[in-house]
Structure 1
Amino acid sequence: MQSNDARTLLQCAVPTAAAGVVAVAVSGALAGGKGAIGGAVGTLVAGGVMAMGLYVLQRTAKSFPHLFQAMGLVLYVTQFLIAAVVLAVFRDTSLFNTRAFAFSLLAAVLVWTAAQTRAYLKAKILYVDPESAEAKNTTPAGSPT
């Protein structure tokens, strides 16, 4: 993993974890122990799905840069479908409060997406190799200009 990939992951995971702590506290206060468990599970599911998506996107960018944009679109649809399937599977569970789970999942996904957007906007990733551009513009010594 390159340093900018690790930085992006960290810049996304930390705010999502902070939102998860808030979600667990609010869910615990509003729905008791089962609400706190639902908030924690929702945050963990969202963080896991989004982190896997970021990893897949970074691997695609390295291996197949020409498919990067299309893969990003497919990835976001896949993440949405995974979240929908998880919500459908745990719809009638009695292990935790499903409303707390759903709202925590939604909050964590929104925080992750906002943090990922901010990380990419702040990243200073070169898309042109400056050395090769300078090499083309320089003329050898003694040649006519």
Structure 2
Amino acid sequence: MTSNKLEPHTMQADDVRALRQSAVATVAVGVLGAVVGGVVSGGKGVLGAVIAILVVSLFFVISQIAVMRAARVSPQFMMIAAVGTYTVEILALAVLSSQFKDTTLFSGRVFGVTAIACVLAWSAGQIRAFVTAKTLIVEPSSMHGAAGDS
């Protein structure tokens, strides 16, 4: 009975750890993009990189929250939510990048390159968090059912 109460807490702790690792990686890459953008395009480059960091972080945090909520329903629903939100995020970033292409407020090129780098950094952070998490891949009840069926 106690293990059922601990499982959601452990899952939430893993999710928070994954979110933190991904956010740190994204911000680190974004800051590097801001420095390079500042050298290449001055203040407009820095602004483009900062906007990219904010947009990518916002999109992926919303996605992480949606996936965490979907995980409460079922693993299958979690996967659908993960793929669906990732697809929507990439499409939204593509639309934003095309809209910012001709802006004079900030460097659209630095925005695009930094956004791509931040997406890759976020994804790498998620992969690292998943690989290092000590999460059961096979549910214990499924293992006993499969062994009994043989």
Give the shorter-chain TM-score range.
0.7 to 0.9
- Out of 21, 36, 43, the position equivalent to 2:46 is 36
Counterpart amino acid of 1:76? Y
Counterpart residue number, 1:49: 59
- Out of 13, 17, 22, the position equivalent to 2:27 is 17
Distance 1:111 1:127 in 2: 25
Counterpart residue number, 1:138: none
CA deviations on 1:82-122 (whole Å, 9 max, x unpaired) are: 11121122222111011001000010001100111111111
- Out of 107, 112, 122, the position equivalent to 1:102 is 112
How far did 1:130 drift? 5.9
Counterpart amino acid of 2:66? V
Counterpart residue number, 2:130: 120
Aligned ranges for residues 55-134 of structure 1 at < 5 Å? 55-127=65-137
How far did 1:61 drift? 0.7
Counterpart residue number, 2:36: 26
TM-score normalised by L of structure 2: 0.80
TM-score normalised by L of structure 1: 0.83
Distance 2:53 2:14 in 1: 24
Moved more, 88-97 or 36-45: 88-97
Counterpart amino acid of 1:108? C
**Uncovered stretches (5+) of structure 1, i.e. residues with no partner:** 135-145
Bigger radius of gyration? 1
Question: Is the helix fraction higher in 1 or 2?
Answer: 2
What percent identity do the matched residue pairs reach? 36
Computed over aligned residues only, the root mean square deviation of the Cα atoms, in angstroms, reads 2.1
Distance 1:105 1:127 in 2: 32
Asked whether the equivalents of residues 37 and 110 of structure 2 are also in contact (C-alpha less than 8 Å), the reply is yes
